[in-house]
Amino acid sequence: MCSKGTYIRALARDIGEALNSGAHLTGLVRTRVGEVKLEHCLSVESFPEWLDQQEIEEVINE
């Protein structure tokens, strides 16, 4: 696990510099934020279907 201050892209750059070869990331996926895990989240594709199933209450501010 890494802290909020860990910059993975900068880490890759620093490792490349230390090896005198250069380095970069080809992909980066955040799999967890706190207790929220990626496998428990909705996909972008499934979101419209999920939204259609919700009962949305209209609130009128007077």
Q: Which pTM value belongs to this model?
A: 0.48
Q: Is 60 helix (H, G, I), strand (E, B) or coil?
A: coil
For residue 37, what are the contacts with CB-CB under 8 A and spacing of at least 6?
31
**Would you say residue 37 has pLDDT above 90?**
yes
**Would you say residue 44 has pLDDT above 90?**
yes
d(CA 42, CA 37): 11
Among residues 6, 2, 5, which one has the least CA distance to residue 31? 2
The one-letter amino acid code at 62 reads E
- Categorize the per-residue pLDDT at 22 as very low, low, confident or very high, splitting at 50, 70 and 90: confident
**Would you say residue 6 has pLDDT above 80?**
no
Phi/psi of residue 12, nearest 5 degrees: -60, -45
